[in-house]
Amino acid sequence: MGTVRQTYTVLAERDGTWWAIQVAELPGVFSQARGLRNIEPMARDAISLLLDVGPNSFDLTIKEVLDPDAERAVADAIHARAEALEGQRVAANKSREAAQTLARLGLPQRDIGRLLDLSHQRVAQLLSSSASGASQGSGPVGT
């Protein structure tokens, strides 16, 4: 059985134009970074210097600390994107079902496209993906 790597929690809070970094499990370990992408290497350097270990000998969990309004705005944006993706998936499935129904009635792909406000090429994709079993969720997303 392998050894368990230590994991440290890095808290990063905006302070002016910098991110102030502290390590929850190691009081007194502080650093700073200009951007989010620099938090991990700066935290690794600070921890490895304090503990005299290699910078890749431990794991990090980075938590950005934001004020409540910013935290809520970020959460709302992520939630809205997830809902939009689900809406796209539903729209693609409904478009595929409609295209299949119209094709069974004998309508040409160009007419199906015009009725569904899609290009005839997209209609061909929808019909071919439904024939290959992609209606179960694989294949391109879109309407």
Count of H-run helices and E-run strands, the chain: 4, 4
**62 in Cβ contact with 43 (< 8 Å):** yes
Is pLDDT above 60 for 133?
Answer: no
pLDDT value at residue 139: 44
pTM reported for the whole predicted model: 0.65
pLDDT value at residue 134: 43
The mean predicted confidence, pLDDT, of the chain is: 91
Q: How far apart are CA 52 and CA 39, in angstroms?
A: 19
The pLDDT tens digits for 88-108 are: 999 999 999 999 999 999 999
The pLDDT tens digits for 59-88 are: 999 999 999 999 999 999 999 999 999 999
